[in-house]
Amino acid sequence: EAGVAQSPRYKIIEKRQSVAFWCNPISGHATLYWYQQILGQGPKLLIQFQNNGVVDDSQLPKDRFSAERLKGVDSTLKIQPAKLEDSAVYLCASSPGTQNTGELFFGEGSRLTVL
Amino acid sequence: KNQVEQSPQSLIILEGKNCTLQCNYTVSPFSNLRWYKQDTGRGPVSLTIMTFSENTKSNGRYTATLDADTKQSSLHITASQLSDSASYICEGGGGNKLTFGTGTQLKVEL
């Protein structure tokens, strides 16, 4: 079974530039999450999708971050314009269930460095 | 506010020794607790999932315990190996919320 795919693995940009990350969840998984993980910290939820609807985006900085999940499958996370404090690993995860009770499968992450 | 606190922050042990990592959680509503292993530069991988009614769950050399009354969980690693060097993250879930701890950084040395 293929895992959660993310790209790019690494990205270096200057502040005020834009960046986009892509995630392809495990086939058939209803729930998709985007997390931000700053070095030395645990993952922080940015947005949770159930199929193609948003369940929770309360911690998404909506003035600069946006995300969409096309047709309930792939998802993209965009940052525009980037700030220095956005330097982090952006993790995508998917789960077969819809009630946060099942196993979460994480991708390898996209490491962003903002200079 | 939901919180998950882990201790110790970091730990160094010799290969072959056992160790126990701690997790205290304040999560409401609470339905399950997960432990993850995160190797450097990789995404977290699930080790165990326990519902609030379970007391213990094993996965090979990893054994997790859960005390829902005291809101504490532990992860015990038996006969450690060099490949166990990683960050171990505790996560409490309930409703639509998942709350992650900051992890315990474990290093296993020869």
What is the distance between the alpha carbons of residues B18 and B75, in angstroms, rounded to a whole number? 11
Mean pLDDT of B13-25: 97
Yes or no: say if A23 and A83 are a contact pair by the CB < 8 Å rule: no
Q: Could you tell me if B31 lies within 8 Å of chain A, comparing CB atoms?
A: yes
What is the distance between the alpha carbons of residues B89 and B34, in angstroms, rounded to a whole number? 8
What is the distance between the alpha carbons of residues B38 and B17, in angstroms, rounded to a whole number? 20
pLDDT for A108 beyond 90: yes
Q: How many CB atoms lie within 10 A of CB B70?
A: 8
Q: How far is A4 from chain B (nearest CA, A)?
A: 10
Yes or no: say if B37 and B21 are a contact pair by the CB < 8 Å rule: no
Structure tokens at B14: 């010799």
Inter-chain CB proximity B34 and A106 less than 8 Å: no
Inter-chain CB proximity B4 and A101 less than 8 Å: no
Q: How many CB atoms lie within 10 A of CB A45?
A: 21
pLDDT for A1 beyond 70: no
What is the distance between the alpha carbons of residues A53 and A46, in angstroms, rounded to a whole number? 14
Give the chain B residue whose CA is nearest to the CA of A108. B43
Mean pLDDT of B7-14: 97
A13-60 pLDDT tens trace: 999 999 999 999 999 999 999 999 999 899 999 999 998 899 999 999
Q: What are phi and psi of A52, to 5 degrees?
A: -110, 15
DSSP B77: E
